[in-house]
Structure 1
Amino acid sequence: MLKLFQFNLRLIALCSLLLSGSCMAQNLALYCEEDRPLQFYGTDGKLTGFTIEIVQEIQKRVGNKDRIQVVPWARGLDKINNNPNTLLFSMARTPEREDAYQWIGPIMSNIYGLYAKADSNLRIHSIEEAKQLSLIGVYRNDIRDQTLTRLGFTNLDRASSNISSFKKLMMGRIPAYTDSKLGVESLAIASGYQASDVKLIFELFKSELYIAASKNTDKHIVEQWNQALEQMKQDKTFMKIEQKYRRQISPTLPATPSLKSKQ
């Protein structure tokens, strides 16, 4: 009887190990868009950036070797919305998205504001004043569009890309567009201009950025990634990566948040 009991215990332990191993070995689809300084190709042609290094360090700690794929944001959203075990970063966590995904993070904060041409005399002092502008350029269905719509803005000019909004601004078709402090410089260059061609006229809101996981991603994987990120913050690895990119992302870096804090 004792031998049978011991055999059953070993059998249960073996099954548990195999189950754990299957979770560990489970393939993930990892997507991001090119968005300097978070995710971009360096001069050597290799994918790099603040969040790339964060994700790669998490992968190392959890034993994941899946390749990070760079795709347009719309394609990334399609993938995460329709496939299990799919991750997309960096995504702002909003009320509209809260229940649509699982969340790994936060990894940093981002500040969004209204930008006008550098020689503009436009002055905005409140949300209500911003609502009186003739048009505000936004990237369709992203955090800017969703947040301003929720705040009651009815003057949004929705474009299929941030570049489209930037060019409309420079051509005088809209008086202002929305952008993040992180994204202004790279967007200006991608649009054929310089960051000095625009100026911030009003800060709208701040949002935390996360690695998003599809709703039907294995919850054990999400927990494992969150635990690895927390360990990185505790052993100062996260801080070392922050310091490497601090000059590029310092306007939006808060004190390193704890994953155990209220989200």
Structure 2
Amino acid sequence: MTEDFPPFGYYDKNGKLVGAAVEIVQLLLVKMNHPDKIQVLPWSRAIRTLEIEPNHMLFAMAKTPEREPKFKWLGPILYDDIFLYQLSSDSSEYNNIEQAKKAKYIVVTRGFPEEKILEQLGFKNIHTAHTPSQALSMLMSGRVTMIASGSIAITPLLQRSNYPLNALKETKVKLFSTGIYIGLSKSTPDEIVQDWQIGLNEIKKSESYQNIMSKYFSLP
């Protein structure tokens, strides 16, 4: 399972499921001789399914302390830094956590780790959205002051929503860094996890993996 969230997974203009995480997982499925049965679901439904159903995989997931004991894990497949972003037209300065706490509202996608992180840091000005696109729309319309987003996701999110790439600017408030993983149902046998991890490690050394990274993140 995955969600519709560029650049990790999304439908292109021809209706084909693409994205950095999707294409890495597709390589893994081929290597492990497993059928490609990737489903695109709302995040809240997908992670709930992973919690209660056996034999499921969900990507791309941040492995947070809260989530870690609930699932088995493959990865990381990617890395990301989570920042607060504001409108480029907003002259307010947010250089630290305390300044950010004084903002009117910060929007996060419900169920994403940044929601829990902000709560743990004592933020009281949190708004939630069902999807990253909805969160961005709330910021662009002026309903909220900032959005919490991964640095590798914010540009594709703007592109997908047809907003100028210079519409937002990164504040100096970095919430956390995280590896991006594939989560597996807790009941998955450790031997299977180990076999798939070996397969993923081999893929990450391949030219195909580097081509995916260059394609989506302009890495050398």
TM exceeding 0.5: yes
* Cα pair distance change 1:164/1:41, threshold 3 Å: closer
Q: Secondary structure at the match of 1:32?
A: coil
**Secondary structure of 1:195 counterpart:** coil
Tell me the amino acid that sits aligned with residue 8 of structure 2: L
Shift of 1:237: 4.2
- Choose which of 74, 97, 113 in structure 1 pairs with 2:83: 113
Give yes or no for contact 1:85–1:218 (8 Å, CA) kept in 2. no
Residue in structure 2 matched with residue 155 of structure 1 by the alignment: 125
Alpha-carbon distance in structure 1 between the residues aligned to 2:47 and 2:95: 34
For the structure 1 residues 133 and 43, does the alpha-carbon distance in structure 2 shift closer, same or farther, using more than 3 Å as the test?
A: closer
Higher relative contact order (CA 8 A, sep 6+): 2
1:1-263 equivalence runs, <5 A: 31-191=1-161, 193-202=163-172, 203-247=174-218, 250=219
Aligned length: 219
- Deviation, structure 1 residue 159: 2.6
Deviation by residue 1:98-137 (Cα, 9 ceiling, x = unmatched): 1011110001111211111121001111122212223211
The separation in 2 between residues aligned to 1:64 and 1:243, in whole angstroms, is 26
Structure 2 CA distance, aligned partners of 1:246 and 1:197?
A: 19
CA distance in 1 between partners of 2:217 and 2:136 (Å): 26
The percent of aligned pairs where both chains have the same amino acid is 32
CA RMSD in angstroms comes to: 2.1
Counterpart-to-counterpart distance in 2, 1:192 and 1:238: 28
1:88 to partner: Cα distance: 0.4
Distance verdict in 2 for CA 1:39–1:161, change over 3 Å: closer
Q: Which has the higher helix share?
A: 1
Unaligned 5+ segments in structure 2 are none
Secondary structure (helix, strand or coil) at the match of 1:187 reads helix
1:84/1:214 contact within 8 Å kept = yes
Give unpaired runs (5+ residues) of structure 1. Answer: 1-30, 254-263
8 Å Cα contact 1:122-1:201 kept in structure 2:
no
Query: Structure 1 stretch 227-236 or stretch 46-55: which is displaced more?
Result: 227-236
**CA distance in structure 1 between the aligned counterparts of 2:95 and 2:54, rounded to whole angstroms:** 44
